[in-house]
Structure 1
């Protein structure tokens, strides 16, 4: 589903309505201005024609007329033109900018539109002549255009200001909701604290209350779950250890009897219960939020200590190789214990699910990436995508709890790192790789550094 922004929708809606109203207002103002300007100019035409009517009633002075054309000084191109005719339609006198042909034929009092003039026709006071007064069309159009621009242009120019003001107002009003969104986004399994008061509007107050109520229920549920897993694992650890010891002693005592196979199965199942209990304790620790602590430590040193611990566990036909290239130290920030749990589970996963007579390689790079590769059959993509979920196991027949990669994923998430599970391993036709990417703080290089291996 396409994402959308509430603020953008509100801004777009409000601005569209305001712009639409301004456009309608502009059109209305333009039409009204055109009507008013036309009416005023027509009144001027009528007034001039009426004055000429009285002049026509007087005797023409011959020195002012030359061939029936008046020659007033300083005539502008946008000045009014006129024609004076007798009742038969013959031009008696015309202005210099009036055409020699009759502007209106037949002669009838009133207003007329011609290609280049707006003409008003009227009779003289003594009804002996027709007076035709014409205004150049370009002058009228220019006057109307200027009047419309004066009325409409400010509205057009103010539209960007309206958009900016509406946008600022809407975003300012929605800022508490954005703060609420950020607070909700910062909540997770390690942070279920209630959201503080954010001066929310009345419409958003129920959301704030409902979210805090949900966080409280989640905190109680997760706390109960973690407490149960931790207490159950702690309570089971001692009885399981005692059971293991008794089963091993009994197995040694009855080694030659017919019950040896059954007792061996009891020891194996007891050992499996012990491993599952230990994994539950690790999972409880991983989800408790202790990984949020930020202490700087050397990652290479932690991995080398773990390699030493696995010397007695790894089969004799396999090797655990640590390749740190030319790195001597690689400092990261996090919790040392949970980081140890992280790589203990990843290395144990590689040992348990790897193919016999193959090596397990741990590569440490200067860019903060740690890659753990083991040989195995290619894991289907559908299974690979779910391996980080609790109790999800691959197709391997090796016994396991299905919690190792889930514990690692929880720790990586809290450390702010990334974990990628790949199968087949890059550059191979099969195998499995777990790649952890850390942010690097300090890197110390050695001039001569050889890979280390556990044989």
Structure 2
């Protein structure tokens, strides 16, 4: 298929160049033909004039000249008249039945004589009139032969130039053929960059963009493989715990012991359900997941997220407040944004904060901004980038229950919605987390 496409491209380029070359060759050949014919006519006129002037200046025609002029194969006709109209000399080639008229038009003229056209040059002296004539048909034939001989090199060179163009097009397309062969020879998992050596400037950007796509696919596949491996590892622990708790429940005696086993089993199930929900949320927030773009109000969305986490905050004794004075219209996925904000608030409540302030406002340049401030222990600056990795929790909070997916979900959802996530020190002494949109 690729070779056929390249052949088609090569054939199209050759056809276009061949048409251009043929038109150019025809134009050059036509111009050369017309130019050579015009020059031949000028040369024949010059010969007529020189012949007439040489005879005009002589007193009489020498015998050897008379013999040469009387040659039947000579195309010229020479006649000399006295001023009284007496013919002093006449050469008549084979087939000429009538002499030139005694009355001549001095200089160049055309004459119809004996059924054919003649080109005549006449010169006069005080004693005689010299006329030299040549049939136009002879002149035209000789001029056409000279013009055709000048066109022959163009006709011979045209197929040679065509063969050279075919070869040069093949050489120019050879790097593209190498890239095509390299792409065809790869397996489904080979995502290395295609070779770009020697590619023409018109094709290099396409291959470079394709290599960029391959690099992004490689990163996405690596992330997916890592995600699957981490998810399998994280799911193994709660499932194993559920299996153990189920065995304890089976072996426990009815009463308080059985009730405690049921409570532990229910708690394990809740943690497993929460982990699965977060995995699904992370999958929905990945690039290319096809998130809907719906009109929403960030202020209302913040109120809903705070209401979701309010029971947890009350049980933990955390003072949770919201500042959302004005509507903040936006287009995006309300479910993904609500889940991202809920994860930020949930993290602040879980990791030891006593006060959490949520704000939905406009940033310095009027762009929408969601902010969560707390007075908890915060995250050291050198760990703030690492906590966005999947299944990664702060080094100082390994004992806190959780899957380590909350901030990964927040960053994925923010990128999907065109926002950025920033972590900084909060005025309350803890951590500030922001979802910031670019200014319109």
Work out whether the TM-score is over 0.5.
no
**Higher Cα radius of gyration:** 2
* Coarse TM-score class (shorter-chain normalised): 0.3 to 0.5
Q: TM-score, with normalisation over the residues of structure 1? A: 0.42
Structure having the higher helix fraction is: 2
